[in-house]
Every structure is written in C-alpha cells, then in structure tokens.
Structure 1
C-alpha cells in the first residue's frame, strides 16, 4: 500500500474552528494513514474523539493539542484496538471521564481491520442514541450506527453540522463487516439512517474528510447491493465456498486482504440466509430451494 507522502503524524491540523485532528503513527493496509483523533472545542474545555492506540507519542501529541484546556470527555466511536486503547492512559493522566460507546469484547474469529477488540475499555458513561455531551461552545450528540460493530456510534457536532463517523463511513475505503459482531443488515440500516440526515461534512477515523456525505452514502449503499448481486451470481453456478468466491469477486486487490474480504462476503451471506435467499451445507453456500 502506498501512502501519501509527508504525513503530519503527531501534529494538530485545524479542520474548522471547533475541530482539530491529530494523526497517530499506526498506518497499515487497514488503517490507511493511521487513526485520526479529533479534539473538539476551542475554549476552556474540549472533547477528544477516538484517542487511538495506547502509544505514548500519540497521547503526548493529543495533550499538546489540548494545551491548557480541560478534557471534558474522552469519546470513542467503538472499541477496536486502533480506536480506544489510549482512552485509559489518557484518563489516568488527566482525570477526564470516558464517555461514548458501550464496552464490547469478543474472541477474534477472523481477519479484522483493527486486530480485534480493546479489552481495557471501561467507560464512565455510555451514550444512548440521541444523548448529548456539552462543553464550552460545543455540543456532541450520539448517533447509533451498528454494523461495523454492534456498539458503533457516530458523533455529531451540533454547532457546525459535522459528523465524526469512526469506521462506519470512510472516504478512502469501505468498512469491513466481520461476523459474528459485524452485521450487514444493521450496517445497511445505519447507512440508510445517515442518508436521512443533513450533516455538512464527515470526519472519519481514517482517511480524508468527506465533503459530499449524501453522495458518498448513496454510493456505498449501491456498492453493497452490487456485492450482494455478485454473491448471488457466484452461487448461480452451484454451491461455493467463500475462499473460492473472494478472488472472483475482488479481482485486483492485494491477496493479503482476501481474509478481510471474506469476512464481508460472509456478512452478505448471513444476511441473505436470514432473508431465506441462500442456504449453507457446512462450508458450502448455495441458493435456497424455492418455498
């Protein structure tokens, strides 16, 4: 994977008057240039969104960005290990509460974009859909968006119309939906929910800001529906295993990503199975018999 040159790792970038971004030094084929932590607020207190990996240099960079302000909330969109592990050490150093998604720990049964779940995440307050956290000149509202993970939240900055989308919507790549926790039906429903909103801009945890959110969400929903049609076309020729389907469906991608692609294919198949369209016999998947 070729990354953009001269990445500003550890430096605060001002995205808009209330939003600064700090890039962690954890680039990979799954995290792109790395995890982007956002500092929200320019007054006496701020919120820190997706503090990222428990890397001392990154935590120091967050604190340098915060400066003399008080951290009113350490907020996590979800608990994959490239998003939330810095929350605990940041709380230890500042006394700030961890507020955001619910804890979630599962065994890892396949390739993921983030090396499984953060076992250290212990929130002081879990936000339900629509609940808000407010500080000096800013208000953040939780928007429940399960799918990538069952505990995923997007976080809306009420004052500016920005939405921090975590891994739910990213401009550089689609999200990996990895069962058993990743759920394609829930993911599509969450995309449909965002389509109904009027957010001005998206700030994802990886990759550039999304300045045309409605257009991107429409395209992502169309992409997933196209993948579903690909799955069904694969099965029209007879029963198939997922490892046999992936190279045919994902032509041209790095073979190191086949495992992650297979998880998304599995998510589509489980969704289709729930709807009665496909069935499985052990590792073989097939079209369901007509009722």
Structure 2
C-alpha cells in the first residue's frame, strides 16, 4: 500500500471514463482509500444509477449531482457498508428521491485497526439484491455479483451492456484488499476471487479505489497466487518457531510502513483462521502451531 501522489487529483470533477460510465472522486484520501472513494454514475440517458456514493460530504454529494445533471437517479447502489462507501446514500436519496438498492445492511464493531473500515450504522436499503438480481434503466443493466470476503455483505455490479465490473473493495489495482476478522473472511474472499476468475465476460474492472483494471483475469490470478504465497509464508514462520501474529508481522512485512503493520496483522489472522478451518494449524490463546499429518 504505497502513498498516492495527491497533486492535481480531480476531486469533485466529473470524468467520462467509458460508454455509460462517469466517475467522481471523493476527497477522502488515506493509506487505505488511496486517492479517495470513486463514485460511478452509470447511464447516458434520462435514467442513471449511482454506485458507491461514498462519504456524506457535501462537496462530494454536490459533485455527484452535477455529474447526474438533468437525468433522474433511479438507484443508489452500494457494494458494501464501510463508511467510505455508503454514508452518502442517505443524503443523495434525500436530494433525488432514488431508492437505495444493493448490499444488505451490516453493522459490526470492527475490532481491527482500520478506522476507515468502520461500518455505516445508518445505511438503510430499500431493496437488497441477491446474487444474479438486476436493476436496469434506460440503456443499461446492472447485475449483482455476490463477492463476500472483504465484508460478508460485499457485492460487485456487472454492467451487462459493456462487460465492465464495478468491484468495490473486492479487487483493486493499487493494492490487495484488507480482510479483517471478525466479518472479513479469507475463505470466502478466496472463493470470491476464484469466482471472478471464472467470469470471462468481464473485460474491465472499475474499483472504488485506484485505477481501472484492464486485464482483470490476469490480476485476479496474481491475487490468488499472492494469497497462497502468504499462507505458505505463514506456515514457514510457524515452522521457524514464530507462533504469534506479533512475531510474524515484522518478519513478513519488512520494508512496509510500520503504521500499516496492525492492518497487516488482521490479514495474517484471516489467513490463520482459513488454515485452521482446513486443519493445517491449531491455536491455543494467541499461539498458533502447525498440525502435522501422516499419510
């Protein structure tokens, strides 16, 4: 997770990035949101959808409305309910009358270190989409693709007409997603990555943070490989006598900003929980040991 260059970023500006797709960047950069949350306006006709309205920031809400122009917002779609994604839904609904349609409500106390990953307690969807359900307007159709892992309620949205997939925080070009228990689940995350890899119809990813992904299946294959490499690294750490997350992280994340180590520890925990489910490790209090099997 490298710090972005924020000079001349197009905050509060409408960017046309593809047929049927415009983008507005929120002014909420951080080590975990990169340059900020990217809100997408889908549709070129008189009906549009807004994906991930972002923070409830007046500058950003005004910029979304400017991007919408004279069109009618018929859906406000959220990929998940972390507070850098969904709080803008309520004020946008109040201004447009549009329904909030997308992921289910989820409010948990996140015991991890990511302040920006706190859940939005005020998110109130008018309609929850399940996997494969669609919303449509003039000239466009969005299909929900269930991708739990980063959060249990995470959805991606496929723009059927163009092959674009709005990936929220599930897949990002600039960084791997943080998977932080108790709600973040590495087993589900890896399964969701495998599912996206199988979707050959997706030709480009538009994530909530960072640049568009032009070779999506190649990136997803690399992300799966990265996660498998991490789990092998964890098993080697245990074999070397490092049995706690506090011992593992400084060795596994050398060269990474130490301020990010607590978040890295959450991903290590997520991997350990996945390995535990698979019968490869066991724990006693905060200590993890490998399970040796004899075939």
TM-score per shorter chain, which class? over 0.9
The yes-or-no answer on 1:245 pairing with 2:241 is: no
- TM superposition shift of 1:290: 3.6
The yes-or-no answer on 1:114 pairing with 2:139 is: no
For the Cα contact (< 8 Å) 2:4–2:35, is it kept in 1? no
SS in 2 for 1:256: helix
The yes-or-no answer on 1:149 pairing with 2:151 is: yes
- TM superposition shift of 1:17: 1.6
Superposition RMSD in Å: 1.0
Where do residues 175-190 of structure 1 align in structure 2 (5 Å cutoff)? 175-190=177-192
CA distance in 2, matches of 1:124, 1:132: 14
Where do residues 55-134 of structure 1 align in structure 2 (5 Å cutoff)? 55-112=57-114, 114-134=116-136
- TM superposition shift of 1:238: 2.3
| Alignment size in residue pairs | 291
Per-residue CA deviations over 1:56-100 (Å, capped at 9, x if unaligned) read 000000000001100010000000000000001111111100000
Per-residue CA deviations over 1:130-173 (Å, capped at 9, x if unaligned) read 00000010000000000000000000000000000000000000
CA distance in 2, matches of 1:41, 1:14: 11
SS in 1 for 2:122: coil
- Counterpart pick for 1:168 among 152, 164, 170: 170
- TM superposition shift of 1:281: 1.3
For normalisation by structure 2, the TM-score amounts to: 0.97
Give structure 1 regions of 4+ aligned residues with deviation exceeding 3 angstroms: none
CA distance in 2, matches of 1:212, 1:251: 29
CA distance in 1, matches of 2:203, 2:73: 25
The yes-or-no answer on 1:204 pairing with 2:179 is: no
2:224 match: 221
The yes-or-no answer on 1:268 pairing with 2:288 is: no
For the Cα contact (< 8 Å) 1:239–1:287, is it kept in 2? no
SS in 2 for 1:214: helix
CA distance in 2, matches of 1:225, 1:27: 29
CA distance in 1, matches of 2:255, 2:187: 27
For the Cα contact (< 8 Å) 1:202–1:213, is it kept in 2? yes
SS in 2 for 1:114: helix
For the Cα contact (< 8 Å) 2:27–2:36, is it kept in 1? yes
CA distance in 2, matches of 1:223, 1:5: 31
CA distance in 2, matches of 1:54, 1:226: 38
SS in 2 for 1:98: strand
**Uncovered stretches (5+) of structure 1, i.e. residues with no partner:** none
For normalisation by structure 1, the TM-score amounts to: 0.98
For the Cα contact (< 8 Å) 1:3–1:32, is it kept in 2? no
CA distance in 2, matches of 1:255, 1:47: 40
- TM superposition shift of 1:289: 4.6
